[in-house]
Chain A
Amino acid sequence: MSKVHVSTTVNGDPVEFLAAPGMTLLDALRDELDLTGTKEGCGSGDCGACSVIVDGRLVCSCLVLAPEAEGRRVETIEGMAQGGRLHPLQQKFLEHAALQCGFCTPGLLMAAKALLDSNPEPTETEARYWLAGNLCRCTGYDKVIRAVMDAAGELRQERTA
């Protein structure tokens, strides 16, 4: 069984692991690196629960081969809170009760972070279409969108303050 040696960066830390070539980045994160915050909802790129950011691009980690992560920068939910302080999006999701069971929340937070990184002032429609790849069955999306828009406002103030 020919495993591939992969060295990459996850949430700013250099990591190395052996991965079967057919292993997905999702399985590598969960089973090799014990980062179980990224979730598998479907395994076919249709639900977004496994969303991570690779080199600044939002992707489904179930549709990325682990060897492809060689030399890339991977960001997962575990790296979103810095220095014990929740990211504004994490805080707003709590304040707006934008999660119930919370299974889709890690993927949604990654997608929302990628949205605000690329479009700091999204309209409601832009936010809804950007987040259309992240299925949520509990909330009906209302409070999720309100939390994202609220966080966008706060991040803009932080920038201009």
Chain B
Amino acid sequence: MAHVVAGSECWPYTGGASEFDVDAATVRELITALDQRFPGLGDFVDRRMAFAIDGEIHQDAWFSPIGPQSQVWLIPKIGGG
């Protein structure tokens, strides 16, 4: 079970819920699980968000592993100048 923390961008999909647990061992599984639980959230997160897994930021990384006790923050994609 991964403990997910969702930022304000996600609240329109989660009805305001910002922390919940999801069963997923990879980022891709997490996206599918999010879509099942909050329709549309998975696709939105996949396109517009990055995943901070235990403090490390993963962007466009479907197969990054997620451990059983992992904390996963959904944060907006980061650009740069």
**Is chain B in direct contact with chain A in the complex (CB below 8 A)?**
no
Measured CB to CB, the residues of A under 8 A from B are none
